Chains A and B, each alone.
Chain A
Amino acid sequence: MSPQPQAAVGAPLSRVDGRLKVTGKALYAAEHDVDGAVHAVIVDAGIGRGRITGIDTRSAETHPGVLKVIHHRNAPKLPYRDNSGSNNPEGRRLRVFQDDRVRFHGQPVAVVVATTLEAAQHGASLVKVRYDAEQPSTDLTKAEPDRPTNYARGDAEAALRSATVRLDLTYRTARNHHNPMEPHATIARWDGGKLTVWDKTQWVVGTQTELAAVFGLETDAVRVISPFVGGGFGTSLRCWPHVVVAALAARETKRPVKLVLSRKQMYLGTGFRPSYEYRLRLGSDRRGRLSAAVHDLDAETSSYEKFTESILAAGQMLYSMPNVSQAYRTVPLDLPTPLYMRGPGFQTASFVIESAMDELAHKLGVDPIELRRRNEPNEDESSGLPFSTRRLRECYTVGAREFGWHRRAPRPRSTREGDWLIGRGMAAGVYDTARMPAQARARLDADGTALVEAAATDMGPGTYTSQTQVAADALGLTVRSVTFRLGDSLYPPTPPHGGSMTMASVGSATLDACNNVRRQAINMAVEDRESPLYGVAADDVVVRGGRLHVKNDPTRGETYRRLLARNDRTHLEADGSFAPPSGPERHSFYGYNATFAEVAVDATLGLVRVRRVLGVYDAGRIISPKLADSQALGGMVGGIGTALLERTVTDHRDGRIVNANLADYLVPVNADVPDLKAIYLDGEDREADPLGVKGLGELVMIGVAPAIANAVFNATGRRVRELPITAEALL
């Protein structure tokens, strides 16, 4: 078929669902009006490890409005079939109310169901649980790690010993929680043996299969609905125990049950970015050509599941060097299981590697960008594959120019404005271009409007809008004529809404479905004697504004509406799909960035204030520039949080999280968000997917924290190897 004109893709559209959101009509998980719904509140374990020895529910049960208290002594045994999908890591998932074990502080130990939220909350506070408490182990540095995952090429230890320049650096990163605005929430309703849940999820299919596995149901017996998600950052990529609790409570009380986690509970078992202790040793020659890197890293996981993430890839492929060795050890602790958080793995690796590169540049007296250029690989040295696209050099060039890098004083602590020391730093960023199989369905109606459906999610990046743009161009319709629906497991399945793969995967399926519909219409027209397009080669027809016409003769054509009316068709419909090529990859697929930051550090009070951040992205094609900016700026804000503010604190004495609230777990507020700017290198990655996109949502956060840390060093001469960087490190 002839390529369609691209009118919608690339246009800086506002969100198509923006009006719904600002008028409060976009329904989030807890807001669905499900007839007869009652309320459930979870009782959290008050110890960090041990056994429940007694549970007194009498005063809760007699509280007016309380319907039932469910706990391990009265809960039915649930099948908990194996389910390797649903983002369940290796291990044995937490089975709610199935035994008396407490595996982490705050684990659900009971649920109170009541006719009102207030009664359920009060009822939960009346449940008295007795424990046989054991000493929990929650300190990453004081526990026994699992056997490592290893990678090696060359002989890194030997190369390190013979290197002219050596660095031996240990970095620590704090545990971070996702902290989306919308809390986790589930409404569950049983209709006979069928379960419907309205859930905050980044993957309706994952929640569907997990609930089916837990309750021993056919997948089709579970329907998951999630049209809007108020921020996710990864926390909703897995069906967590509270979703099971809601469904269980609904089954036990024979009523629809609504369960909303409190803000505090958002820290107690819905995933987090694990804390790392990461030792990196680098060897180079005097000019900074790297010869070896040895990575030794320990990361938190739970006692019952082994969570791992893509922490190793960047160390294998970002810079050219013959010798690399890596040992990645998870450390089982009495904590809930971590989960992917924006830029998983790469974000942490980037902080370490890019801080270390800055240290090397300083040690050698080489400009940090020049050092990176000297180590730019020609191919992916972990696989020997060519890069699909890698335009990191251009990112450096454009970024340096736009940021005014030449004005940076290389010598630390040399720029001062009153009480403030000014510093500038940069970092490179890389993130995997992930794609997974996805499907979509498109229908063109006789009135010339179209409906496209996929079981996808929009947690904020603008899936509704960007998919509408892709569909509009593929169908030759205006954006207003296209409706995109998502967030229902009845729709064609899609992969998790995470890892920045939605645009590439779902977008390509949408494109395919819409191309198929357009093809049907064109074929119908060129075979229809009454059509002005009769006899024209199908390849010569394009559609624009709902009108099919000969590519080189716009006067010859007709509208979808006329075509369908004349042929007595109420609609045309087609499925579409996308799958990455099977078999071994022929290219190495990554998105890249160069991130620049300018900070001011109060020379005496130690306070760091970010003044500006610039990101330059090699992210392939940008479908929706305005929403891309929202993504990029949000990612930078997240990076500022990681660099300067965010850390979840555990009291190792009993395993409790000390700062499980938004007053004590600090995220940036508006006053902390300075001048932010995003630049996208114009281009596309045709090897990656039919749309030519590489994914953006993760990439934009990666590189921000090390750029800030490097700027802090440039400002103060103080190298802080622990995140977040707070006043006490700089006094």
Chain B
Amino acid sequence: MHPFTYTRVSDTGEAVNAGHRGGRYIAGGTTLVDLMRETVEHPESLVDISGLPLREVTVTERGGLRIGALVTMAEAAAHPKVRTLYPVISEALELSASAQLRNMATVGGNIMQRTRCTYFRDVTAACNKREPGSGCAALHGFNRSHAILGTSESCVATHPSDAAVAFAALEAQVHLLGPGGGRRIPFADFLLRPGNTPDREQALRRGELITAVEIPALPRPLKSGYLKVRDRQSYEFALTSAAVALHLRGGLIREAKVAVGGVGTVPWKLPAVEQHLLGERPSESLWEAAAAKATAGTRPLEHNRFKVELLRRTVERQLRIVGGTK
């Protein structure tokens, strides 16, 4: 671990100033400290934001939900409003990491977490994300866990968060506070595809701090859920995953939100699948036909070809679990 300075801040203004001066924010530290130990990350100055008043879960005026950036994963998952309004979020959180990590890690940190690509985490390997221009060892290396969507020649690493898949599906907004004031951006614009700059992962400006994630109001009743497919039954990142939310009225699907994880360089929204579902009546054949659209544009690598078919099946399964059949 490289030497660093450590400062605790007690209000957001102070935090943003420190961030603007080049400080790295740290809350639960479950990703950053880990990566500092591996010397993947070597910030010179850490700004501990865990004392900031960003720990509330509130219902917005329009009936959405605002989750403070410092709400822990465990608190968010167990929050009655989250559980009743958006079970997909609770499930995604509870299928993540371990109980110990969920008690420490925050929602803001969760969407900031960095990839599990083992070449990224090994400082002796080539990685454009860690060291721009050094190459991508994963592209022709062992890439079973890597992405099949949104990849580039520079990077094929997946975004590891489960919660982010749910947020992407639900079209959440990320609230940011910077030196110039606050702003909010759609989740889809917050996490960046690698392109030629895989080291740039979020649309954050210098010093900007995540203050909350806001889930928009959706028509009720909304059925939702998260399916995570992995080799072992707990404490593992997803091979594939699917977040699905459906609103039915009069027996027809009126609203459909679908995103998948474990397959994309960012949480991957599936508008073609959503479109296919709208106005339709739930049926086995509908789920199958909709899921067939999930794999458009996939670009598998040597060791993750199976993910294409697994992705299709994962989406189909989760549509059936959430939507049921008549």
Contacts and interface: CB of A to CB of B under 8 A. Distances in A.
A656 B122 contact: yes
A664 B138 CA distance: 14
A605 B142 contact: no
A89 B233 CA distance: 38
Contacts of B116: 663-664
B314 interface: yes
B239 A727 contact: yes
Contact of A644 (B3, B231, B317): B231
Given A649-B142, A672-B232, A605 B313 contact: yes
Interface string A92-133: 000000000000000000000000001001100100000000
A658 B124 CA distance: 11
A254 interface: no
Contact of B232 (A121, A605, A658, A671): A671
Interface in A558-606: 604-606
B39 A666 contact: no
A672 B306 contact: no
Interface residues of A, number: 32
Given A656-B125, A659-B118, A669 B234 contact: yes
A419 B317 CA distance: 10
A607 B227 CA distance: 13
What 10 pairs between A and B have smallest CB-CB spacing? Answer: A728-B306, A671-B233, A671-B234, A46-B124, A658-B142, A604-B313, A669-B234, A658-B118, A669-B235, A651-B141
22 contacts: A122-B2, A604-B317, A605-B313, A609-B233, A644-B231, A644-B232, A651-B137, A653-B140, A659-B118, A659-B142, A661-B118, A661-B121, A664-B116, A666-B232, A669-B232, A727-B229, A727-B231, A727-B239, A727-B310, A728-B306, A731-B306, A731-B309
A669 B310 CA distance: 23
Q: Which of B125, B142, B234 has the most CB of A within 10 A?
A: B142
Contacts of B185: none
Contacts of A659: 118, 142
A419 B235 CA distance: 23
A125 B233 contact: no
B233 A658 contact: no
B141 A658 contact: yes
Given A663-B237, A664-B116, A666-B231, 14 more contacts: A122-B2, A605-B229, A605-B317, A644-B231, A649-B142, A658-B119, A659-B142, A661-B121, A664-B118, A664-B145, A666-B236, A672-B234, A727-B306, A728-B310
A324 interface: no
B1 interface: yes
Contact of B1 (A118, A644, A658, A728): A118
A726 interface: yes
Contact of A651 (B142, B229, B313): B142
A275 to B, nearest CB: 14
Interface in A649-703: 649, 651, 653, 656, 658-659, 661, 663-664, 666, 668-672
A711 B39 CA distance: 44
A627 interface: no
Interface residues of B, number: 33
B142 A668 contact: no
Interface string A385-425: 00000000000000000000000000000000001000000
A666 B125 CA distance: 22
B3 A122 contact: yes
A645 interface: yes
Contact of A668 (B2, B3, B140, B232): B232
Interface in B118-141: 118-119, 121-122, 124-125, 137, 140-141
A121 B137 CA distance: 25
A719 to B, nearest CB: 18
Contacts, number: 77
Interface of B is mostly: loop
A604 B235 CA distance: 22
Interface of A: 46, 118, 121-122, 125, 419, 604-607, 609, 644-645, 649, 651, 653, 656, 658-659, 661, 663-664, 666, 668-672, 726-728, 731
A728 B231 CA distance: 10
Contact of A672 (B229, B233, B316): B233
Contact of A606 (B39, B145, B235, B310): B310
A320 B297 CA distance: 56
Interface in B231-283: 231-237, 239
B310 A731 contact: yes
Nearest to B119: A658
A668 B122 CA distance: 24
Contacts of B2: 122, 125
Nearest to B122: A656
Contacts of A669: 232-235
A728 B309 CA distance: 10
A609 B229 CA distance: 12
Interface string B103-122: 00000000000001011011
Nearest to A729: B306
A125 B39 contact: yes
Given A664-B118, A671-B233, A605 B310 contact: yes
Given A658-B118, A664-B118, A122 B1 contact: yes
Contacts of A606: 310
A720 B191 CA distance: 39
Contacts of A609: 233
Nearest to B118: A658
Nearest to B230: A607
B96 to A, nearest CB: 13
Interface string B278-316: 000000000000000000000000000110011001101
Given A656-B124, A727-B306, A605 B118 contact: no
Contacts of A726: 231
Nearest to A640: B232
A464 B237 CA distance: 39
Contacts of B239: 727
Interface string B199-236: 00000000000000000000000000000010111111
Contact of B141 (A125, A607, A653, A670): A653
B264 to A, nearest CB: 18
B234 A670 contact: yes
A169 to B, nearest CB: 23
Nearest to A644: B231
A69 to B, nearest CB: 17
A605 B235 CA distance: 18
Contacts of A649: 142
A649 B144 CA distance: 11
A121 B1 contact: yes
Contact of B229 (A607, A645, A661): A607
Interface in B16-58: 39
Interface string B63-89: 000000000000000000000000000
B297 to A, nearest CB: 20
A651 B237 CA distance: 21
Contacts of B233: 609, 669, 671-672
A604 B315 CA distance: 11
Contacts of A118: 1
Contacts of A656: 122, 124-125
Contacts of B234: 669-672
A718 to B, nearest CB: 14
Q: Which of A671, A672, A726, A727 has the most CB of B within 10 A?
A: A727
A663 B235 CA distance: 8
A243 to B, nearest CB: 24
Nearest to B42: A125
Contacts of B145: 664
Contacts of B125: 656
Contacts of A644: 231-232
Nearest to B312: A604
Contacts of B3: 122
A668 B137 CA distance: 28
Contacts of B317: 419, 604-605
A339 B306 CA distance: 33
